Amino acid sequence: MLIRALTARSFRNLGQAPAHFAAGVNLIVGANGEGKSSLLEAISVLANLRSFRTVRWGAVARHGAAGFALLGEIEGAQGRLLLEQAVELGPPLRRRLLVNGAPASVERYLSLCPVASLSSADGELVLGPPGLRRGLLDRLAFLLAPSTLEVLRCFQRTLRQRNALLAGLSTAGELDAWDERLAAAAAELVVRRQRAMAALVEAFEESYQALRGAAFPRVAITYRGESWLNGSEILADVEESYRKRYNETRVRDRHAGHTQEGPHRHDLCVLAEDRPAREVLSSGQIKIVAAALRLASVFHVERERGEPLPVMVDDVDAELDREVFARLTRALANERQLLLTSAHPELVAPAFPEALVLTMQGGGCRPRAGTGE
Protein backbone atom coordinates (compact mmCIF):
# COMPACT_ATOMS: atom_id res chain seq x y z
CA MET A 1 0.00 0.00 0.00
CA LEU A 2 1.32 3.42 -0.91
CA ILE A 3 0.36 7.06 -0.61
CA ARG A 4 0.71 8.42 -4.14
CA ALA A 5 -0.40 12.01 -3.71
CA LEU A 6 -1.91 14.44 -1.25
CA THR A 7 -3.71 17.76 -1.71
CA ALA A 8 -4.63 19.82 1.32
CA ARG A 9 -7.04 22.73 1.72
CA SER A 10 -6.85 24.96 4.81
CA PHE A 11 -4.72 22.41 6.64
CA ARG A 12 -2.20 24.21 8.91
CA ASN A 13 0.24 26.13 6.71
CA LEU A 14 0.25 23.66 3.80
CA GLY A 15 -0.11 25.05 0.27
CA GLN A 16 -2.82 23.90 -2.10
CA ALA A 17 -0.54 22.33 -4.73
CA PRO A 18 -0.55 18.51 -4.66
CA ALA A 19 2.45 16.65 -3.22
CA HIS A 20 3.48 13.48 -5.03
CA PHE A 21 5.35 10.64 -3.32
CA ALA A 22 7.59 7.84 -4.51
CA ALA A 23 6.98 4.16 -3.80
CA GLY A 24 10.22 3.76 -1.81
CA VAL A 25 11.87 6.26 0.51
CA ASN A 26 10.66 9.87 0.58
CA LEU A 27 12.90 12.26 2.45
CA ILE A 28 11.11 15.49 3.27
CA VAL A 29 13.58 18.23 4.09
CA GLY A 30 13.39 21.92 4.94
CA ALA A 31 14.08 24.37 7.74
CA ASN A 32 11.95 24.37 10.88
CA GLY A 33 8.46 25.78 10.43
CA GLU A 34 8.31 25.18 6.66
CA GLY A 35 5.64 22.49 6.98
CA LYS A 36 7.47 19.12 7.07
CA SER A 37 5.62 17.77 10.12
CA SER A 38 2.36 19.29 8.88
CA LEU A 39 2.69 17.30 5.65
CA LEU A 40 3.11 14.02 7.60
CA GLU A 41 0.29 15.06 9.91
CA ALA A 42 -1.98 15.65 6.89
CA ILE A 43 -1.15 12.14 5.62
CA SER A 44 -1.95 10.73 9.07
CA VAL A 45 -5.30 12.54 9.16
CA LEU A 46 -6.04 11.51 5.56
CA ALA A 47 -5.35 7.82 6.20
CA ASN A 48 -5.98 7.30 9.93
CA LEU A 49 -8.42 10.13 10.71
CA ARG A 50 -6.12 11.20 13.51
CA SER A 51 -3.16 13.43 14.03
CA PHE A 52 -0.03 12.29 15.86
CA ARG A 53 0.45 15.83 17.21
CA THR A 54 -2.91 16.84 18.64
CA VAL A 55 -6.41 15.64 19.43
CA ARG A 56 -7.87 19.10 18.79
CA TRP A 57 -9.24 19.40 15.26
CA GLY A 58 -9.32 23.17 15.61
CA ALA A 59 -5.52 23.13 15.80
CA VAL A 60 -5.03 21.46 12.39
CA ALA A 61 -7.33 23.79 10.44
CA ARG A 62 -5.64 26.96 9.19
CA HIS A 63 -6.18 29.85 11.58
CA GLY A 64 -9.63 31.36 11.00
CA ALA A 65 -10.78 28.59 8.63
CA ALA A 66 -14.15 26.91 9.27
CA GLY A 67 -12.68 23.49 8.47
CA PHE A 68 -10.25 21.70 6.17
CA ALA A 69 -10.25 19.19 3.36
CA LEU A 70 -7.80 16.51 2.24
CA LEU A 71 -7.67 14.62 -1.01
CA GLY A 72 -5.30 11.71 -1.40
CA GLU A 73 -4.51 8.99 -3.87
CA ILE A 74 -3.48 5.60 -2.52
CA GLU A 75 -2.41 2.48 -4.35
CA GLY A 76 -2.49 -1.10 -3.15
CA ALA A 77 -3.90 -4.54 -3.77
CA GLN A 78 -7.27 -2.97 -4.69
CA GLY A 79 -5.65 -0.70 -7.29
CA ARG A 80 -5.67 3.10 -7.06
CA LEU A 81 -8.25 4.71 -4.81
CA LEU A 82 -9.14 8.35 -4.19
CA LEU A 83 -9.69 9.22 -0.54
CA GLU A 84 -11.45 12.47 0.26
CA GLN A 85 -12.40 14.00 3.54
CA ALA A 86 -13.96 17.32 4.37
CA VAL A 87 -14.15 18.44 7.99
CA GLU A 88 -16.33 21.30 9.21
CA LEU A 89 -15.25 22.30 12.71
CA GLY A 90 -18.74 23.27 13.82
CA PRO A 91 -19.77 22.68 16.55
CA PRO A 92 -20.96 20.09 15.94
CA LEU A 93 -17.97 18.77 14.05
CA ARG A 94 -18.97 17.22 10.73
CA ARG A 95 -16.81 14.93 8.66
CA ARG A 96 -17.58 13.66 5.18
CA LEU A 97 -15.61 10.68 3.92
CA LEU A 98 -15.55 9.62 0.28
CA VAL A 99 -13.77 6.76 -1.46
CA ASN A 100 -13.63 7.13 -5.25
CA GLY A 101 -16.32 9.79 -4.93
CA ALA A 102 -18.81 7.60 -3.04
CA PRO A 103 -19.63 8.11 0.67
CA ALA A 104 -17.83 5.57 2.87
CA SER A 105 -18.31 4.41 6.47
CA VAL A 106 -15.57 5.21 8.99
CA GLU A 107 -14.84 1.46 9.27
CA ARG A 108 -14.30 1.02 5.54
CA TYR A 109 -12.37 4.26 5.15
CA LEU A 110 -10.01 3.52 8.06
CA SER A 111 -9.29 0.00 6.84
CA LEU A 112 -8.04 1.11 3.44
CA CYS A 113 -4.60 2.53 4.16
CA PRO A 114 -3.44 2.36 7.79
CA VAL A 115 -0.27 4.41 8.13
CA ALA A 116 2.10 4.08 11.08
CA SER A 117 3.85 7.18 12.35
CA LEU A 118 6.79 7.47 14.70
CA SER A 119 7.37 10.86 16.28
CA SER A 120 8.94 12.65 19.21
CA ALA A 121 5.69 12.20 21.18
CA ASP A 122 6.05 8.41 21.16
CA GLY A 123 7.86 8.18 24.53
CA GLU A 124 4.45 8.99 26.01
CA LEU A 125 3.23 5.65 24.72
CA VAL A 126 5.38 4.01 27.42
CA LEU A 127 5.41 6.75 30.07
CA GLY A 128 1.97 8.26 29.59
CA PRO A 129 -1.49 7.19 30.80
CA PRO A 130 -2.87 3.69 30.00
CA GLY A 131 -5.38 5.18 27.54
CA LEU A 132 -2.61 5.70 24.98
CA ARG A 133 -1.57 2.03 25.14
CA ARG A 134 -5.18 0.83 25.10
CA GLY A 135 -5.59 3.00 21.99
CA LEU A 136 -2.71 1.20 20.26
CA LEU A 137 -4.21 -2.17 21.11
CA ASP A 138 -7.75 -1.18 20.10
CA ARG A 139 -6.44 0.13 16.79
CA LEU A 140 -4.70 -3.18 16.13
CA ALA A 141 -7.86 -5.07 17.11
CA PHE A 142 -9.77 -2.84 14.65
CA LEU A 143 -7.32 -3.52 11.83
CA LEU A 144 -7.66 -7.26 12.45
CA ALA A 145 -11.50 -7.02 12.61
CA PRO A 146 -13.07 -3.66 11.62
CA SER A 147 -16.26 -4.45 13.56
CA THR A 148 -14.16 -3.76 16.70
CA LEU A 149 -14.84 -0.06 16.16
CA GLU A 150 -18.57 -0.61 16.72
CA VAL A 151 -17.83 -2.89 19.69
CA LEU A 152 -15.70 -0.14 21.24
CA ARG A 153 -18.34 2.54 20.58
CA CYS A 154 -21.01 0.30 22.09
CA PHE A 155 -18.91 -0.32 25.23
CA GLN A 156 -18.15 3.38 25.70
CA ARG A 157 -21.78 4.38 25.23
CA THR A 158 -23.01 1.71 27.66
CA LEU A 159 -20.38 2.70 30.21
CA ARG A 160 -21.45 6.37 30.05
CA GLN A 161 -25.08 5.33 30.49
CA ARG A 162 -24.31 3.11 33.50
CA ASN A 163 -22.15 5.82 35.07
CA ALA A 164 -24.96 8.35 34.66
CA LEU A 165 -27.29 5.90 36.36
CA LEU A 166 -24.85 5.28 39.23
CA ALA A 167 -24.49 9.00 39.80
CA GLY A 168 -28.25 9.53 40.03
CA LEU A 169 -31.31 7.75 41.34
CA SER A 170 -32.14 4.34 39.96
CA THR A 171 -34.10 1.22 40.66
CA ALA A 172 -32.39 -2.16 41.00
CA GLY A 173 -34.24 -3.44 37.93
CA GLU A 174 -32.93 -0.61 35.80
CA LEU A 175 -29.36 -1.17 36.98
CA ASP A 176 -29.73 -4.92 36.32
CA ALA A 177 -30.49 -4.20 32.67
CA TRP A 178 -27.53 -1.81 32.25
CA ASP A 179 -25.19 -4.20 34.12
CA GLU A 180 -26.11 -6.98 31.76
CA ARG A 181 -25.52 -4.81 28.68
CA LEU A 182 -22.22 -3.52 30.05
CA ALA A 183 -21.03 -7.03 30.90
CA ALA A 184 -21.77 -8.17 27.33
CA ALA A 185 -20.05 -5.12 25.79
CA ALA A 186 -17.03 -5.39 28.12
CA ALA A 187 -16.59 -9.10 27.39
CA GLU A 188 -16.72 -8.57 23.63
CA LEU A 189 -14.07 -5.86 23.86
CA VAL A 190 -11.79 -7.78 26.24
CA VAL A 191 -11.80 -10.91 24.07
CA ARG A 192 -10.95 -8.88 20.97
CA ARG A 193 -8.14 -7.11 22.83
CA GLN A 194 -6.75 -10.42 24.05
CA ARG A 195 -6.63 -11.73 20.47
CA ALA A 196 -4.89 -8.55 19.32
CA MET A 197 -2.54 -8.78 22.31
CA ALA A 198 -1.42 -12.30 21.41
CA ALA A 199 -0.48 -11.03 17.94
CA LEU A 200 1.22 -7.94 19.35
CA VAL A 201 3.36 -9.90 21.83
CA GLU A 202 4.76 -12.05 19.05
CA ALA A 203 5.37 -9.13 16.68
CA PHE A 204 6.90 -7.00 19.46
CA GLU A 205 9.55 -9.62 20.13
CA GLU A 206 10.58 -9.33 16.52
CA SER A 207 10.48 -5.53 16.27
CA TYR A 208 12.23 -4.96 19.60
CA GLN A 209 14.90 -7.46 18.66
CA ALA A 210 15.48 -5.53 15.44
CA LEU A 211 15.78 -2.13 17.17
CA ARG A 212 17.46 -2.91 20.52
CA GLY A 213 21.12 -2.31 21.18
CA ALA A 214 23.46 -4.80 22.85
CA ALA A 215 23.06 -3.24 26.31
CA PHE A 216 19.27 -3.06 26.19
CA PRO A 217 17.37 -4.94 28.91
CA ARG A 218 14.79 -7.63 28.22
CA VAL A 219 11.38 -6.02 27.61
CA ALA A 220 8.03 -7.79 27.62
CA ILE A 221 4.46 -6.57 27.12
CA THR A 222 1.40 -8.00 28.84
CA TYR A 223 -2.30 -7.16 28.99
CA ARG A 224 -3.44 -6.30 32.49
CA GLY A 225 -7.12 -6.69 33.24
CA GLU A 226 -8.88 -7.67 36.46
CA SER A 227 -7.09 -10.55 38.18
CA TRP A 228 -10.40 -12.43 38.63
CA LEU A 229 -10.72 -12.73 34.84
CA ASN A 230 -7.88 -15.28 34.98
CA GLY A 231 -7.00 -14.51 31.36
CA SER A 232 -10.06 -16.35 30.06
CA GLU A 233 -10.69 -15.79 26.35
CA ILE A 234 -14.07 -17.52 26.15
CA LEU A 235 -16.67 -14.85 25.50
CA ALA A 236 -19.49 -16.43 27.52
CA ASP A 237 -17.18 -16.95 30.55
CA VAL A 238 -15.83 -13.40 30.47
CA GLU A 239 -19.38 -12.03 30.13
CA GLU A 240 -20.60 -14.08 33.07
CA SER A 241 -17.63 -12.96 35.20
CA TYR A 242 -18.38 -9.30 34.47
CA ARG A 243 -22.10 -9.76 35.09
CA LYS A 244 -21.43 -11.25 38.52
CA ARG A 245 -18.78 -8.69 39.34
CA TYR A 246 -20.89 -5.65 38.36
CA ASN A 247 -23.66 -7.03 40.50
CA GLU A 248 -21.34 -7.57 43.50
CA THR A 249 -19.63 -4.18 43.28
CA ARG A 250 -22.83 -2.21 42.74
CA VAL A 251 -22.86 -0.56 46.16
CA ARG A 252 -19.22 0.44 45.85
CA ASP A 253 -19.74 1.76 42.30
CA ARG A 254 -22.81 3.70 43.39
CA HIS A 255 -20.79 5.26 46.19
CA ALA A 256 -18.02 6.20 43.75
CA GLY A 257 -20.57 7.40 41.18
CA HIS A 258 -18.91 5.47 38.36
CA THR A 259 -17.92 1.99 37.17
CA GLN A 260 -14.61 1.11 38.76
CA GLU A 261 -13.77 -2.08 36.86
CA GLY A 262 -13.80 -3.01 33.21
CA PRO A 263 -11.81 -2.67 29.99
CA HIS A 264 -11.71 1.12 30.43
CA ARG A 265 -9.31 0.54 33.33
CA HIS A 266 -7.11 -2.09 31.65
CA ASP A 267 -3.54 -1.49 30.56
CA LEU A 268 -0.96 -2.79 28.17
CA CYS A 269 1.97 -3.06 30.58
CA VAL A 270 5.51 -2.60 29.38
CA LEU A 271 7.95 -4.44 31.66
CA ALA A 272 11.73 -4.25 31.54
CA GLU A 273 13.44 -7.05 33.47
CA ASP A 274 9.99 -7.72 35.04
CA ARG A 275 9.70 -4.18 36.40
CA PRO A 276 7.74 -1.21 35.06
CA ALA A 277 9.67 0.08 32.05
CA ARG A 278 9.71 3.67 33.32
CA GLU A 279 11.72 2.58 36.38
CA VAL A 280 14.38 0.77 34.37
CA LEU A 281 14.80 2.30 30.93
CA SER A 282 16.61 5.50 29.90
CA SER A 283 14.64 8.07 27.94
CA GLY A 284 16.43 6.97 24.75
CA GLN A 285 15.55 3.34 25.41
CA ILE A 286 11.95 4.28 26.08
CA LYS A 287 11.70 5.87 22.63
CA ILE A 288 13.03 2.65 21.08
CA VAL A 289 10.52 0.52 22.99
CA ALA A 290 7.72 2.88 21.86
CA ALA A 291 8.92 2.66 18.25
CA ALA A 292 9.09 -1.15 18.57
CA LEU A 293 5.48 -1.18 19.84
CA ARG A 294 4.28 0.88 16.89
CA LEU A 295 6.26 -1.21 14.41
CA ALA A 296 5.05 -4.49 15.96
CA SER A 297 1.52 -3.47 15.13
CA VAL A 298 2.57 -2.56 11.56
CA PHE A 299 4.47 -5.82 11.04
CA HIS A 300 1.54 -7.93 12.17
CA VAL A 301 -1.05 -6.07 10.09
CA GLU A 302 1.26 -6.29 7.06
CA ARG A 303 1.46 -10.05 7.45
CA GLU A 304 -2.33 -10.32 7.78
CA ARG A 305 -2.96 -8.19 4.70
CA GLY A 306 -0.07 -9.58 2.68
CA GLU A 307 1.18 -6.13 1.70
CA PRO A 308 3.61 -3.60 3.17
CA LEU A 309 2.17 -0.45 4.75
CA PRO A 310 3.59 3.08 4.70
CA VAL A 311 5.60 4.19 7.73
CA MET A 312 6.30 7.83 8.58
CA VAL A 313 9.05 9.05 10.87
CA ASP A 314 8.87 12.71 11.91
CA ASP A 315 12.21 14.40 12.56
CA VAL A 316 14.04 11.14 12.03
CA ASP A 317 17.56 12.27 12.95
CA ALA A 318 16.61 14.31 16.02
CA GLU A 319 14.87 11.38 17.63
CA LEU A 320 17.45 8.67 17.34
CA ASP A 321 21.17 8.33 17.71
CA ARG A 322 23.19 7.19 14.71
CA GLU A 323 23.36 3.52 15.73
CA VAL A 324 19.61 3.25 16.44
CA PHE A 325 18.83 5.17 13.28
CA ALA A 326 20.82 2.56 11.29
CA ARG A 327 18.93 -0.27 13.01
CA LEU A 328 15.58 1.39 12.37
CA THR A 329 16.30 1.90 8.69
CA ARG A 330 17.42 -1.74 8.42
CA ALA A 331 14.20 -2.90 10.13
CA LEU A 332 12.07 -0.83 7.79
CA ALA A 333 14.01 -1.30 4.58
CA ASN A 334 12.23 -3.56 2.15
CA GLU A 335 9.28 -2.95 -0.14
CA ARG A 336 7.78 -0.46 2.32
CA GLN A 337 7.04 3.16 1.49
CA LEU A 338 8.81 5.43 3.97
CA LEU A 339 8.10 9.11 4.56
CA LEU A 340 10.80 10.71 6.67
CA THR A 341 11.27 14.33 7.66
CA SER A 342 14.55 15.92 8.63
CA ALA A 343 15.92 19.40 9.17
CA HIS A 344 19.42 18.01 8.60
CA PRO A 345 19.35 16.17 5.28
CA GLU A 346 23.15 16.00 5.22
CA LEU A 347 22.99 13.51 8.12
CA VAL A 348 20.13 11.40 6.78
CA ALA A 349 20.42 11.48 2.99
CA PRO A 350 23.55 9.27 2.79
CA ALA A 351 21.55 6.38 4.33
CA PHE A 352 19.01 6.61 1.50
CA PRO A 353 20.83 7.21 -1.78
CA GLU A 354 17.72 6.16 -3.75
CA ALA A 355 15.33 8.47 -1.87
CA LEU A 356 13.07 11.02 -3.49
CA VAL A 357 14.01 14.23 -1.71
CA LEU A 358 11.11 16.64 -1.28
CA THR A 359 11.87 20.17 -0.18
CA MET A 360 9.30 21.96 1.94
CA GLN A 361 9.21 25.73 1.79
CA GLY A 362 6.42 27.95 3.05
CA GLY A 363 4.01 25.01 3.17
CA GLY A 364 4.77 23.99 -0.44
CA CYS A 365 6.45 20.75 -1.43
CA ARG A 366 8.57 20.15 -4.52
CA PRO A 367 10.90 17.34 -5.52
CA ARG A 368 14.61 18.04 -5.60
CA ALA A 369 15.89 17.49 -9.13
CA GLY A 370 17.75 14.26 -9.78
CA THR A 371 16.40 12.34 -6.76
CA GLY A 372 14.14 9.35 -6.41
CA GLU A 373 14.78 8.00 -9.89
Query: 337 by DSSP, 3-state: which?
Result: coil
78 binds other proteins, rule: CB under 8 A: no
SS3 readout for 224-245: ECCHHHCCCCCHHHHHHHHHHH
158 binds other proteins, rule: CB under 8 A: yes
Q: Which of 80, 174, 244, 304 binds other proteins (CB under 8 A)?
A: 174
Count, in order, helices (H) and strands (E) of the chain: 14, 15
What are the Cα distances from residue 100, in Å, to 126, 220, 357?
Answer: 38, 42, 29
157 binds other proteins, rule: CB under 8 A: yes
Cβ-contact 81, 46 below 8 angstroms: no
Q: At its nearest, how many Å lie between other proteins and the CB of residue 55?
A: 22
CB closer to other proteins, 304 vs 321: 304
Which one of the spans 71-79, 88-96, 145-153, 316-324 is the region binding other proteins (CB under 8 A)? 145-153
Q: At its nearest, how many Å lie between other proteins and the CB of residue 329?
A: 36
Q: At its nearest, how many Å lie between other proteins and the CB of residue 308?
A: 24
146 binds other proteins, rule: CB under 8 A: yes
Touching other proteins, residues 85-124 (CB under 8 A): 105, 107
151 binds other proteins, rule: CB under 8 A: yes
333 binds other proteins, rule: CB under 8 A: no
C-alpha dihedral over 336, 2, 132, 291, to 10 degrees?
20
Q: Which of 171, 251, 346, 353 binds other proteins (CB under 8 A)?
A: 171
CB closer to other proteins, 147 vs 283: 147
Check residue 148 and report its DSSP letter: H
What b/e readout covers 148-163, taking b as 16+ CB neighbours within 10 angstroms? Answer: bbebbebbeebbeebb
The residue among 61, 32, 46 whose CA lies nearest residue 2 is 46
CB closer to other proteins, 122 vs 179: 179
Q: Which of 21, 178, 208, 299 binds other proteins (CB under 8 A)?
A: 178
In this structure, is the dihedral angle defined by the CA atoms of residues 240, 244, 247 and 253, taken in order, positive or negative?
Answer: negative
Distance separating alpha carbons of residues 173 and 194, to the nearest angstrom: 32
Distance separating alpha carbons of residues 230 and 273, to the nearest angstrom: 23
Count of residues of this chain found to bind other proteins when the rule CB under 8 A is applied: 27
CB closer to other proteins, 48 vs 170: 170
323 binds other proteins, rule: CB under 8 A: no
- Binding mask of the shown chain, residues 240 to 279, with x at each position contacting other proteins by CB under 8 A: ----------------------------------------
Which one of the spans 61-69, 131-139, 154-162, 257-265 is the region binding other proteins (CB under 8 A)? 154-162
Q: Alpha helix locations (H) across 72-171?
A: 106-112, 123-127, 130-144, 148-167
143 binds other proteins, rule: CB under 8 A: no
Distance separating alpha carbons of residues 360 and 341, to the nearest angstrom: 10
192 binds other proteins, rule: CB under 8 A: no
Q: At its nearest, how many Å lie between other proteins and the CB of residue 305?
A: 16
Check residue 61 and report its DSSP letter: B
165 binds other proteins, rule: CB under 8 A: yes
CB closer to other proteins, 28 vs 151: 151
Looking at residue 1, its amino acid is M
CB closer to other proteins, 166 vs 200: 166
CB closer to other proteins, 105 vs 209: 105
Q: At its nearest, how many Å lie between other proteins and the CB of residue 168?
A: 6
Distance separating alpha carbons of residues 69 and 268, to the nearest angstrom: 34
Distance separating alpha carbons of residues 18 and 369, to the nearest angstrom: 17
Distance separating alpha carbons of residues 44 and 48, to the nearest angstrom: 5
Q: What is the contact surface with other proteins in residues (CB under 8 A)? A: 105, 107, 145-147, 150-151, 154, 157-158, 160-162, 164-165, 168-171, 173-174, 176-178, 180-181, 185
